[in-house]
């Protein structure tokens, strides 16, 4: 009996490790491909013969990218956006999720409030009125245009409110008995106890700020203010070839240089890829740490 169990367990372990590791490898392949292309010669890249290992190894494209003012500038804008945007959004997310995690008795109109927010995920007015509102509020061409209009990530709010609900009620009641109000309880008990979920939501916020490109393109008035993702979008998406002159097409071909594109994609992805391992530590420790403090 005991033997059977441990054999089953062993088999399961082997299966589990094999599966997870092969999945990880499959997910790594495209990135390696991009890295290989960025380190290859132009001709090899445009012949499509670079697979997972660079051909005619060269670091030219990295030298080019790192000396390119616009690339570095947009990288800086992205970092700024993520920093400001994440702080603002996380504050708002926590402030909204906490009251909404209460029952209808504790917070009047709770369900109404919840739907007020959820409604905005489901309905939108489209590009033009959205642009006009942002213009009217005077945010165009400033970093705040990338932060304020989507400062309330409703999806994250709902997620966090569900996590908040999962915390034991007794802790809060104890705090109330000690004379803490809602504000204190939120910051002293709820936030520290929810580090895994807050880290998760923080990651989502960071990633969504890092990845969104459309708002940058529409709301910024010059390339100097584009965040990295918008900038990358302007270089990796191909213009329609139908309306161009020979001159333009010729020049386009020379920049459609895949090695440089790949280098920019790779360098551009590094900061965000580095975020996750850093946040991962909260996934394990959260509960224990909170438990001790509480």
Partner 1 sequence: MLKKGFKRQLPLHLMLLPGIVLVFIYCYIPMVGGIMAFQKFIPSKGLFHSKWVGLKNFEYLFSMPDFYQVLWNTVFIAILKIIFGLIVPITIAILLNEVGKSVVKRWVQTLIYLPHFLSWVILGGVLIDILSPSYGLLNQFLGIFSIKPIFFLGDNQWFPFTIVLSDVWKEFGFSTIVYLAALTAVNPSLYEAAVIDGANRWKQTWNITIPGILPIIVLMTTLSLGNVLNAGFDQVFNLYSPLVYESGDILDTLIYRIGLIDGQYGVATALGLFKSLISFALVSISYWLAYKIADYRIF
Partner 2 sequence: MKGKQSLSFILSTLLLTSVILSGCGENKNVKSEGASEAKQQETTINPLGKYDPPIDVTAAKFITQDVKYPDGQSEENNAWESLYKEMGINLKYDWIVKGTDAQYFQKLNVTIASGDIPDLMMVNSTQLKQLVEADMLEDITDAYNQYATPEVKSIFEKDKMALQSAAFDNKLYAIPKTEPMIGGQTPVLWVRTDWLKKLNLPEPKTWEDVLNTMKAFTTQDPDGNSKQDTFGVALSKEVVNGYPSVNGFFNAYGAYPRIWTKDSSGKLIYGSIQPEVKTALAQLADMYKAGELDKEFGVKDGSKVAESLVNDRVGLLFGPSWAVQWPLQDNKKKNNEAEWRALAIPSIDGGDAAVQMPFGASFYFVVKKGVTHPEIVIKMANLFTEKLYGQSADYLKYGVDAEGITTAKYSFVDLAAPDKDLKRSQNVAEALKNTDPSKLNPEEKSTYDKIITFQQEGDLNFYGETYQSGPDGAMMVLQKLWDGKKIVSEGYGGAPTETMGEKKATLDKMETEIFTKIIYGAASIDSFDKFVEDWKKLGGEQITKEVNEWNASQK
Tell which positions 42-81 bind partner 1, by CB under 8 A. 48
CB 199 within 8 A of CB 283: yes
CB 71 within 8 A of CB 65: yes
d(CA 114, CA 101): 10
Contact segment (CB under 8 A) with partner 2 among 22-30, 79-87, 160-168, 233-241 equals 233-241
d(CA 152, CA 134): 15
Q: Tell which positions 106-145 bind partner 2, by CB under 8 A.
A: 127-129, 131-133, 135-136, 141
**Of 12 and 53, which has the nearer Cβ to partner 2?**
53
Binding track, positions 199-218, relative to partner 2; x by CB under 8 A: ------------------xx
CB 210 within 8 A of CB 78: yes
Rule CB under 8 A: say whether 125 interacts with partner 1. Answer: yes
Rule CB under 8 A: say whether 9 interacts with partner 1. Answer: yes
Q: Which does 76 bind (CB under 5 to 8 A by kind): partner 1, partner 2, none?
A: none
d(CA 241, CA 249): 8
- Candidate residues 11, 56, 66, 165; the one interacting with partner 1 per rule CB under 8 A: 165
- Candidate residues 44, 220, 267, 272; the one interacting with partner 1 per rule CB under 8 A: 272
The H-assigned helical ranges of 101-227 are 110-122, 127-136, 144-147, 154-165, 169-177, 182-185, 191-193, 195-211, 214-219
d(CA 146, CA 220): 9
d(CA 215, CA 267): 22
Rule CB under 8 A: say whether 42 interacts with partner 2. Answer: yes
Q: Which does 6 bind (CB under 5 to 8 A by kind): partner 2, partner 1, none?
A: none
Which positions touch partner 2 (CB under 8 A)? 42-44, 46-49, 127-129, 131-133, 135-136, 141, 217-218, 220-223, 233-235, 237-256
């Amino acid at each position: 009996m005991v033997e059977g169990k441990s054999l089953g367990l062993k088999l399961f372990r082997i299966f589990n490790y094999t599966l997870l590791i092969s999945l990880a490898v499959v997910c790594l392949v495209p990135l390696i491909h991009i890295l290989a292309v960025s380190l290859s010669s132009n001709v090899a890249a445009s012949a499509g013969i670079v697979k997972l290992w660079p051909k005619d190894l060269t670091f030219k494209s990295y030298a080019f990218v790192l000396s390119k003012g616009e690339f570095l500038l947009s990288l800086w804008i992205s970092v700024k956006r993520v920093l400001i945007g994440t702080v603002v959004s996380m504050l708002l997310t926590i402030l909204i999720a906490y009251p909404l995690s209460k029952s209808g008795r504790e917070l009047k109109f709770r369900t109404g409030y919840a739907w007020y927010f959820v409604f905005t995920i489901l309905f939108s007015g489209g590009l033009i009125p959205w642009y006009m509102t942002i213009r009217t509020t005077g945010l165009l061409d400033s970093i705040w245009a990338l932060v304020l209009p989507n400062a309330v990530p409703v999806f994250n709010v709902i997620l966090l409110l569900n996590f908040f609900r999962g915390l034991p009620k007794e802790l809060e009641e104890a705090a109330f008995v000690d004379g803490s109000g809602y504000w204190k309880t939120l910051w002293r008990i709820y936030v520290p106890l929810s580090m895994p979920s807050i880290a998760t939501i923080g990651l989502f916020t960071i990633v969504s700020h890092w990845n969104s490109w459309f708002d940058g393109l529409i709301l910024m008035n010059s390339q100097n203010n584009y965040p990295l993702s918008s900038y990358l979008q302007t270089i990796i998406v191909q213009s329609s070839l139908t309306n161009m002159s020979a001159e333009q097409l010729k020049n386009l071909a020379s920049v459609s240089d895949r090695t440089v594109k790949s280098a920019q994609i790779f360098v551009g992805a590094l900061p965000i890829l580095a975020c996750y391992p850093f946040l991962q530590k909260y996934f394990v420790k959260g509960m224990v740490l909170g438990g001790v403090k509480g």
